[in-house]
Amino acid sequence: MSTARPPESSSFPPSTPSSLPVPNPTSSFWLSDLSNVLRGHRTTPDLPQTADVVIIGTGITGASAARFLTSDPRFASLFPSASSASSFSANLSRHACVLQLEAREACSGATGRNGGHLQTPLLPTAREPAVGAFELRNYHAVTAYVAAHAVDCEFRALPACHTFWNADTVAAAKAARDELSRSAPELARLVHVVAADEGDGTDELRRMRVPDARGAAVVETAASLWPYKLVAAQLVRLVRGGSVNLQTNTPVERIERAGEGAAAGAGRRLRYALRTPRGSVRARHVLLATNAYTSALVPAFADLIVPVRGQMSALLPPPGAPRLDHSYGFLGARGQPGNFDDYLVQRPFSGRDPRGQLMFGGGRGANAKSPVGVSDDGEVDEKVAEYLRESLKVTMSLGGEDDGRALKDTHMWTGIMGYSRDAHPWVGSVPGEDGMWMAAGYTGHGMPNGTLCGKAAVELLLADEAGESAKATEERLVRDDGLPPSYLISEERIRRARLQPEIAAVSGLVSSARVPIASAAKNAHAWLTVLWSKADAAGTLGYSEELKKRKTTN
> Which of 56-70, 260-274, 487-501 is predicted with the least confidence, judged by mean pLDDT?
260-274
Report the CATH number at residue 267. 3.50.50.60
Last residue of a domain, which of 393, 419, 445?
Answer: 419
Q: 510 in a domain, yes or no?
A: no
CA–CA separation, 85 and 437 (whole Å)? 23
CA–CA separation, 328 and 159 (whole Å)? 9
Q: What is the pLDDT of residue 405?
A: 94
170-203 pLDDT, tens per residue? 999 999 999 999 999 999 999 999 999 999 999 9
One domain for residues 171 and 311: yes
Higher pLDDT, 4 or 272: 272
307-326 pLDDT, tens per residue? 999 999 999 999 999 999 99
> Which of 142-146, 267-271, 283-287 is predicted with the least confidence, judged by mean pLDDT?
267-271
98-119 pLDDT, tens per residue? 999 999 999 999 999 999 999 9
Question: Average pLDDT of 117-132?
Answer: 94
Q: Give the chain's mean pLDDT.
A: 87
Residue closest to 444 by CA, chosen among 370, 371, 381, 387: 371
CA–CA separation, 105 and 30 (whole Å)? 13
Q: What is the pLDDT of residue 25?
A: 98
Q: 526 in a domain, yes or no?
A: no
Q: 239 in a domain, yes or no?
A: yes
One domain for residues 321 and 413: yes
One domain for residues 373 and 392: yes
Last residue of a domain, which of 489, 506, 531?
Answer: 489
Q: Is the pLDDT of residue 8 over 90?
A: no
Question: Average pLDDT of 260-277?
Answer: 77
One domain for residues 213 and 71: no
According to DSSP, residue 268 is labeled P
Q: What is the pLDDT of residue 262?
A: 55
Q: What is the pLDDT of residue 541?
A: 29
CA–CA separation, 449 and 261 (whole Å)? 38
Q: Is the pLDDT of residue 528 over 50?
A: no
Q: Is the pLDDT of residue 338 over 70?
A: no
What is the CA 434 to chain-centroid distance, rounded?
25
One domain for residues 236 and 181: no
One domain for residues 310 and 359: yes
One domain for residues 51 and 194: no
Q: What is the pLDDT of residue 409?
A: 98
The residue range of the domain holding 240 is 37-110+228-300+423-489
Report the CATH number at residue 193. 3.30.9.10
> Which of 2-16, 383-397, 538-552 is predicted with the least confidence, judged by mean pLDDT?
538-552
Binning pLDDT at 50, 70 and 90, where does residue 529 land?
very low
One domain for residues 215 and 316: yes
Strands 502-503 and 515-516, sheet pairing: antiparallel
Q: 105 in a domain, yes or no?
A: yes
Q: 376 in a domain, yes or no?
A: yes
Q: What is the pLDDT of residue 351?
A: 86
Question: Average pLDDT of 16-24?
Answer: 95
One domain for residues 322 and 402: yes
Q: What is the pLDDT of residue 1?
A: 57
According to DSSP, residue 316 is labeled P
Q: Is the pLDDT of residue 85 over 90?
A: no
Number of domains in the chain: 2
Question: Average pLDDT of 448-474?
Answer: 98
Q: What is the pLDDT of residue 340?
A: 77
Q: 28 in a domain, yes or no?
A: no
Question: Average pLDDT of 63-74?
Answer: 98
Q: How many residues does the chain have?
A: 554
> Which of 147-156, 330-339, 530-539 is predicted with the least confidence, judged by mean pLDDT?
530-539
Backbone angles phi, psi at 235, to 5 degrees: -65, -40
Return all residues near 229 (Cβ < 8 A) that are at least 6 apart.
30, 33, 151, 152, 153, 154
Last residue of a domain, which of 472, 489, 506?
Answer: 489
Query: Nearest 5 degrees, angle CA 519-CA 522-CA 524?
Result: 115
Q: Helices (H), strands (E): how many in the chain?
A: 14, 21
One domain for residues 390 and 432: no
Residue closest to 451 by CA, chosen among 142, 5, 91, 129: 142
Most confident of 259-268, 448-457, 504-513: 448-457
One domain for residues 408 and 327: yes
Q: 386 in a domain, yes or no?
A: yes
Burial category of 157 from C-beta neighbours within 10 Å (exposed 0-12, middle 13-18, buried 19 and up): middle
One domain for residues 457 and 399: no
Q: 366 in a domain, yes or no?
A: yes
Question: Average pLDDT of 408-437?
Answer: 97
Burial category of 452 from C-beta neighbours within 10 Å (exposed 0-12, middle 13-18, buried 19 and up): buried
